[in-house]
Structure 1
Amino acid sequence: MTALQFEPRVALASLSGQSDAEWARAGVEYAGCAFLGGIALDGPTREAAREMVADRDREEFLPADPYRFVREQLRALADVPIRPAVNVRSTTLVPVEEVADLCRDHGAIVEINAHCRQAEMCDTGAGEALLRRPGKLAKQVEAASATGATVSVKVRTEVDGVDLPDLAARLDRAGADAVHVDAMDSERVVANVVEATDLFVIANNGVRDAATVREYLEYGADAVSIGRPSDDPDVLARVREATEDWFRQREVSP
């Protein structure tokens, strides 16, 4: 867990095509970690991202060289006090290993995306589809962990046939350091994941104010993350204050 510690225990969650170094720098006052990306790395996921842009008018990062892009983004954050992370999508292991190498060298976290639910991405076997293929997901975790990088996995609740606490325990055994849980409307699952594993648990979805922060932290989450309102200073300030207050009160409680 210490390999992934950051303060304050507020993270900025990745938003496709929006979460870059400039976005992360804007949140430095409020967050201890920022997840850049997601970045499609290999041929199938990059083609899926292109289809998502064309068919859905979505924003996606599609640089000519994704590895150079990641390197430049991490260098752009070298002078600010925020722990960078890179959320990646891939159907194969080598691209994950290569980005994990970059993240290790820059003190960043590599986050495997088992979260994206867009049909084009899932059809490649990446994103949410990995939740239904735990062996394949575990191999991506093993490959990233073997580089010496700190590894997170972004997951979501409410996926039919997926026992998330059981999956988190498997990812822990595979070498993950953290699980980043999009709780959807099943916030209690965060507590189940915490009970099932020793992973650093980051809780996401609906984090806006003191009430949502307290709910996730009382379920045992080690940190919270902010998604869509991550560019709203008012929300960021409320979440940071609530998070720091919660941990401060726990330290002084008998």
Structure 2
Amino acid sequence: MEFIEVLAPMAGITDGTFCRDISTLGFDMVTLGGYNADQSTLNAGQEILARGRPEFDLKPGDLLPYLEEQSFLLKCQDLWDGMVSVNLRALTTDPIIEVSRLKNVDVVEINAHCRQPEITQLGCGQALMENPSHLEKFTREVVKKAKSKVSVKIRANVPDVDEIKTVSAIDHAGADYLHLDAMKPGFNSADYDMVKLIRQETSMFIIGNNSIRDIGSARKMLAAGADGISIARAAIGGTLSFDLSQI
């Protein structure tokens, strides 16, 4: 499998313009989002906005035309021919499948990662990891009906969550990518041991994420078993302090 470098989703930041401007730094895939894709998650997003978090503020009917416009901003340029991914939070599969049918969307990413309480109390985001059988069914439905590739983003070291069961569920469902936030609470670095453990349990394409801020941390993620890396905070200013081509 080919190594890829991914611009990770950053709520309220990675829209089409931001992704377009940073894509030429060497990213093979850029991720729009994350977005709340149905009424329940949109309502939760309003609650999150009310306490000062910069989440996307879109009405249900606005999402598809908005994403059509944002993905076109990336695909219409001649300087970059990478993939466009969209990270989505939803209680049902339908809105995710709808997004997969947009012309310029190459990957839809199921958000099993968000830890905002307004989202998790719905059984969405990170809460999906607490029910592997439901996550498997949910992912399989998206894989079956999507017109694009499918990724699932999860977080490591969530209390009372068995990462191996979670990964197994996603693998059995047929996802194309496992986007792993190898978070290690209390540490300023990724949990490379967790990446190694998950690598032993699946042949899925693993996109390793967390604390990749320089060449060294990127290489450590790959050495631990990731097939690719994703970068978020290091790119938040619209540039990078290191050269992706040197990884």
When normalised by structure 2's length, the TM-score is 0.89
Partner of 1:40: 36
Structure 2 partner of 1:120 = 118
C-alpha separation between the residues in 1 aligned to 2:89 and 2:175?
16
Q: For each residue in 1:184-214, what CA deviation from the matched residue of structure 2 results, as whole angstroms up to 9, or x when unmatched?
A: 1222111111111111101111101121011
Matched, 1:221 2:226: yes
Question: For residue 244 of structure 2, what is the aligned residue in structure 1?
Answer: 240
1:163–1:40 distance in 2 versus 1, CA, 3 Å: same
Q: Distance in 2 between matches of 1:122 and 1:107?
A: 26
Q: 8 Å contact 1:23–1:231 — kept in the other structure? A: no
Which residue does 2:188 correspond to in 1?
none
Aligned to 1:230: 235
For the Cα contact (< 8 Å) 1:207–1:239, is it kept in 2?
A: no
Query: Separation in 2 of the partners of 1:149 and 1:173?
Result: 18
Task: Answer with 157-166 or 44-53: which moved more.
Answer: 157-166
TM-score by length of 1: 0.86
State the match for 2:212 in structure 1.
Answer: 207
* Segments ≥4 residues shifted beyond 4 Å: none
Q: Are the aligned partners of 1:213 and 1:242 in contact in 2 as well (CA < 8 Å)?
A: no
Name whichever structure is richer in helix by fraction: 1
SS in 1 for 2:192: coil
Task: Note the 1:56-135 alignment, pairs <5 A.
Answer: 57-64=52-59, 65-79=62-76, 80-102=80-102, 105-135=103-133
* Residues 101 and 149 in structure 1, CA contact (< 8 A), matched pair in contact too: yes
- Cα distance in 2 between the residues matched to 1:63 and 1:179: 27
Instruction: Label 1:169 to 1:49 Cα distance change in 2 as closer, same or farther (>3 A).
Output: same
Name the aligned partner's letter for residue 74 of structure 2: L
Mapping of residues 164-179 of structure 1, within 5 Å: 164-179=163-178
CA-to-aligned-CA distance 1:39-74 (integer Å, 9 cap, x gap) = 10111100111100112x111222231122112111
What is residue 202 of structure 2 aligned with on the other side? 197
- Give the 3-state SS of the residue equivalent to 2:114 in structure 1: coil
What is the deviation of 1:169? 2.1
Question: C-alpha separation between the residues in 1 aligned to 2:93 and 2:245?
Answer: 39
**Unpaired segments ≥5 residues, structure 2:** 185-190
Q: How far 1:101 moved relative to its partner?
A: 2.2
Aligned-CA RMSD value: 1.7
Contact 1:112/1:140, CA 8 A, preserved across alignment: no
Match among 134, 137, 152 for residue 136 of structure 1 = 134
**Does structure 1 conserve the Cα–Cα contact (< 8 Å) formed by 2:71 and 2:105?**
no
Aligned to 1:152: 151
